């Protein structure tokens, strides 16, 4: 990649020259590592104020509380053992709530710093019910389904205009036989966010434009629906980057591309001028309820809240499993882009409904699943 063009686009800053020093640049201010204790970047705080309606002090307090909740969640889950029923972060109180099926585990979980609620169904039981629903064939009017720890049930989302469809009703009848189910309505059916070729955007395969997710050693990860294994990938300037080395869609929506031919990787997510480019320091999984931001080649930097985990999304091409749902908007061309919480990589953009003018919801495929599937190592700062 030519140095004279790095500053102009940065190709999502994930494919900068091998080292910042080599390009004569210094890394931009970034969100802090949970371990570092450094203050959040001004740009990140500004984005949270704009997209989440927070004051600067509220944004700082929320980031601090989310870091604590992320650390507590793992400890609480271990303390709950088989009694664990799920957990979520409450942005109003700044606390993590953990559900358990056994009152005998409550004190041990509470000792980790979490709030505790007693529920009927364990996470293991709910996950098993969801797996039984995953085995069903869903009609187009069924949008998605996931385990909701607050409801302690599996939530099945149906498109409001198709809720009376016979196939939808039949699916819901069979879903209720699989376990405890709650039905909710959604405005639109989900779709992927790939787009036709538009000049000046990050990467292309064939006539499809998508966005880079995160740098890994030897390449980058992105969405599987953007290209099949072996497909050639070119950058914003039309130069050859590499090829899809692995790709899965539907069932999953992830892929990885090798990087070569003068291109390098860097542990950075582009802020697009809305925020400072964000350094990536790890991939600790944020809890439900946490704030989260997304970077993509069409709508650039957007923020919202993490709404649900392990959701099955029913695209027209087929169901995709183990997705995470957010309130962040996205549009065509944002597919494959980065979801990040603070400085922790979360996943790559898959699809959703709505747009960034009227709002909507977007799903991502979790990063740690992708790394494990292909044996990749996240490139971190």
Q: Which residues are catalytic?
A: 225, 253, 335
Residue 380 has φ and ψ, to the nearest 5°, of -120, 160
User: 302: which 2 tokens?
Assistant: 């957007």
Angle ∠(359,293,338) on CA atoms, nearest 5: 105
Nearest alpha carbon to residue 63 among 88, 87, 38, 86: 38
Could you tell me which residues are beta bridge partners of residue 268?
A: 279
Nearest alpha carbon to residue 197 among 222, 231, 229, 226: 226
Q: DSSP letter string over 14-34?
A: TT--SSTGGGT--PPP-PPPT
**Start-to-end C-alpha separation, the chain:** 21
Beta pairing class for 181-186 and 153-159: parallel
What whole-number distance in Å separates Cα of residue 149 and Cα of residue 240? 45
Could you tell me which residues are beta bridge partners of residue 84?
A: 100
Could you tell me which residues are beta bridge partners of residue 159?
A: 186
Q: Provide CB contacts within 8 A for 380, sequence distance 6+.
A: 267, 280, 281, 282
Q: Is 87:68 a contact under the CB 8 Å cutoff?
A: no
Measured between alpha carbons, how far is residue 86 from residues 100, 146, 359 in Å? 8, 12, 28
User: 242: which 2 tokens?
Assistant: 């590499």
Q: Is 246:256 a contact under the CB 8 Å cutoff?
A: yes
Q: Is 121:284 a contact under the CB 8 Å cutoff?
A: no
What whole-number distance in Å separates Cα of residue 274 and Cα of residue 286? 22
């Amino acid at each position: 990649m030519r140095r004279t063009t790095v500053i102009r686009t940065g190709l999502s800053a994930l494919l900068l020259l091998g080292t910042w020093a080599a390009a004569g640049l210094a890394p931009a201010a970034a969100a802090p590592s949970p371990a570092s204790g450094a203050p959040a970047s001004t740009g990140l705080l500004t984005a949270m104020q704009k997209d989440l309606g927070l004051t600067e002090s509220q944004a700082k307090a929320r980031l601090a509380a989310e870091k604590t909740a992320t650390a507590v969640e793992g400890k609480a889950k271990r303390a709950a053992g088989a009694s664990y029923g799920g957990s979520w972060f409450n942005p109003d109180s700044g606390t993590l709530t953990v559900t358990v099926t056994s009152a005998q585990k409550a004190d041990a979980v509470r000792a980790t710093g979490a709030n505790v609620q007693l529920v009927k169904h364990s996470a293991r039981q709910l996950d098993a019910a969801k797996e039984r629903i995953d085995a069903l064939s869903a009609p187009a009017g069924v949008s998605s389904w996931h385990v909701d720890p607050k409801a302690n049930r599996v939530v099945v989302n149906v498109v409001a205009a198709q809720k009376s469809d016979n196939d939808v009703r039949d699916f819901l009848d069979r879903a209720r036989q699989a376990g405890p189910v709650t039905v909710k309505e959604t405005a639109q059916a989900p779709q992927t966010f790939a787009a036709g070729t538009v000049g000046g955007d990050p990467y292309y395969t064939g006539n499809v434009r998508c966005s880079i997710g995160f740098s890994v050693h030897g390449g980058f990860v992105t969405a599987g629906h953007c290209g099949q294994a072996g497909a050639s990938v070119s950058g914003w300037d039309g130069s050859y980057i590499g090829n899809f080395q692995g790709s899965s869609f539907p069932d999953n929506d992830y892929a990885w591309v090798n990087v070569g031919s003068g291109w390098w990787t860097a542990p950075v997510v582009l802020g697009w001028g809305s925020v400072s480019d964000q350094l990536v320091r790890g991939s600790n999984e944020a809890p439900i309820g946490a704030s989260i931001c997304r970077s993509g080649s069409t709508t650039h930097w957007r923020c919202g809240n993490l709404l649900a985990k392990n959701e099955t999304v029913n695209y027209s091409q087929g169901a995709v499993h183990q997705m995470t749902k957010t309130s962040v908007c996205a549009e065509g061309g944002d597919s494959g882009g980065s979801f990040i919480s603070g400085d922790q990589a979360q996943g790559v953009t898959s699809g959703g409904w709505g747009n960034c003018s009227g709002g909507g919801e977007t799903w991502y495929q979790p990063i740690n699943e992708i790394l494990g599937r292909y044996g990749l190592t996240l490139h971190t700062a």
